[in-house]
Chains A and B, each alone.
Chain A
Amino acid sequence: MTPEETLEILKNKFPDSEFTYDNELPVDAYIIVNPKDLLDVCFFLRDEENLQFDTLMNLSGVDDNNATKVKDEEGNEKLEGRTLSVYYHLHSMKFDHKFYLKVSLPIEKPEVESVESVWKCADWHEREAYDMFGIIFLNHPNLIRILLPYDWEDGSYPLRKDFETPEFYNGMKIPY
C-alpha cells in the first residue's frame, strides 16, 4: 500500500483531524499529524487489518531551527515559531509497506503522547529524544536521561541547535 492510500484511509477514519502530506522533500514523504491525535492514529495504524504497521523502525527527534523574526508592538524584534519535531518511521512486516509520520511541537511546550504502549521499542527511542532535545513524552513509564549521565544539568539538551558546551560539569572545568 502506498503512503497516499494509507493517508486516504486515515482521512476517512479521522475526519476531524488534520493531516498534511509533505512531499516537497525529494526522497521521503511525511504525513504531518496533529500531536493531540497521535496516539489514536498510531493505535489505528497498528491494528487496522489492511495496514498492520507492527514495527517502529525508528523514532527521531529533530530541532527544526525554523524561528522567524517577528516585530512586536514596540518594534522589538524577537524570534518565534521555532518547533521541535518527532519523526516516526513505521513498517509492516506482514505487508512490507512503510509509512512516515511527523509531529511538530512548539519549543516552549514540546509535549506529545508517548507511543510506548503501541510499540515497546519506542521506550528507549523516546528517552533518547528527551535526553537530546527535551521533548516530553506524556505517559511514558520512565522518562529519564539515557545516554547522558543522570546528573546532567536540567534544561540542557545537547542536540538542540542553540546548545552551548558548558564550561563546568559538576564543578569540574571541562578542558576542551
Chain B
Amino acid sequence: MRDATLANGMRIIVWPVHDIPNVALYNWVRAGSRNEAPGATGLAHFFEHMMFNGTSHHPPGHFDRLMEAEGGANNAFTTDDVTVYQDWFPASGLELVLDLESDRVARLAFTPEVIESERGVVASERRLRVEDNSHGLLAEQVQASAFVAHPYRFPTIGWPADIESWRLEDLQAFYRTYYAPNNLTLTLAGDVDPERAIASVRRFFESIPAQAPPPPVRAVEPEQVCERRVSIRRKAQTPLLQCAYKAPRAADPRAPAVSLLLSALVEGDASRLHRALVEDRQLAIEVSGHWQEGFDPGLLWLSLTLPEGADPEEARRALDAELAAVAADGVTEAELERARNLATVGLWKKLATIDGKAQMLGEYEVFHGHWSRLFDAPARIAEVSTEELRAVAEEILDPRRRTVGVLVPSSPPSASTAS
C-alpha cells in the first residue's frame, strides 16, 4: 500500500489488489449538509448531481458517456459530512477516469438549463425518499428537531423551497470553497501498480491550485436537557417509532464501544431488542439502528416498525425498559463476544471486495485521521470490555438527550380500504 500528499494538499491512498482486472476509486470531498446555511440547504447534494453535468472541456453528458464506453460505471452519495464520488472500471481505464475526475474538479461549468433540469431530478428524488416514504418523512422531522444550533439539523436532500431557489452564485461559491484539491482525498483499490497510479494522479491533479481552507463549522450543539417529541399523522397502514440519541463523533476514542453497543442491541435475530420486542413481546415487526458517525457529535438511531393498530406508547415503554436495563447492567460477556464476532466478519466482508477496500480506506483517512487506523480496528474491537460498553450505554441511552418521533396512520385501515 502507498499514500502520498500532492503539493496542493490533495491526499491519495492506493491498495493494489489483483483478484479481478478492475479498480474502485473513491473521491472524498469534505463537504456535506453540515457545511450549509438556512435558505440553501441541500446544496452539497445538488452539487453531487451537478458534478456530472459538464465542464468547460466536456459538454453535459460526456462524463458518463465516455466513462461507460471505456467500461466504467460511477455513482456518488452525499451525507451530513461528506460528498463521495465513486468509479468502478477496468484497469485499462485508469487514465481516462483520472482525466475526467480532475477535469470536473478543475473546470466545472454551470449551464442554466442544466441546473433547471437537475432541480427536477432532485425534487423527484426527494419525493421518492421523503414525501412518499414514511421512514424518510419521520426521520427528517426527528433530525430537524434533534439539533437546535448545529447544521446537522438540515436534511441532506434539502428543504423543498431551497431546492427551488438555489442561484448560480451559490453553486459557484460552494464549488470554489469545497472542491479544492486540499479538501479532497482519493482512495484507489484494485489492479494497479501503486507508484504508477500515484504518478498518474499527480499528472492530472497536481496543477489544480489549492484554495484557502473551507471555513470551519463553528456551531456546537448545546447539551440537550430534555426529551423532544415529534408526531406525524399520515396515510399509512403501520405506525413507526424512531428514537434518536445524541452520540459521539466518529473519531471519539469510545467509537468501538458505541459500534458494539449498537450491534448488541439490534444486529441479527439474537440481538437484545429484536428478541425482546419482535420475538418475545411481538410489539414490533422490525427493529433497526444506525449511528451517524460524523465529524461532530451526531445521533444514534433506533427505529421500530410497528404492526397495524399498535400503540406506539406501549412500544416506547417496552423499548425504554430494555434500554434502561442495558444502561444499568450492560450486556453479558456472550452478547459482547457475539457483537465482536459479527464486527470481525463484517470487516472481512468489506475487505473481500475492491469497492469495500476503497471505501474503508477513505472512511478511516477522512473520519479517523489516517487510513492505517483501519488495521487497528480488529484490536480495538477485541479490547472493548463489558464495563466500557455499559458506560457508553449509560451515557448515550439517556432519555433526556433524545428525540422521539412517532408516525401514526391518519385513518383507520377499514376506511382507507373503502376509499
**A pairs with B:** no
Please give the residue numbers on chain B whose beta carbons come within 8 Å of chain A beta carbons, in ascending order.
none
Using a CB–CB distance below 8 Å, which chain A residues touch chain B? none
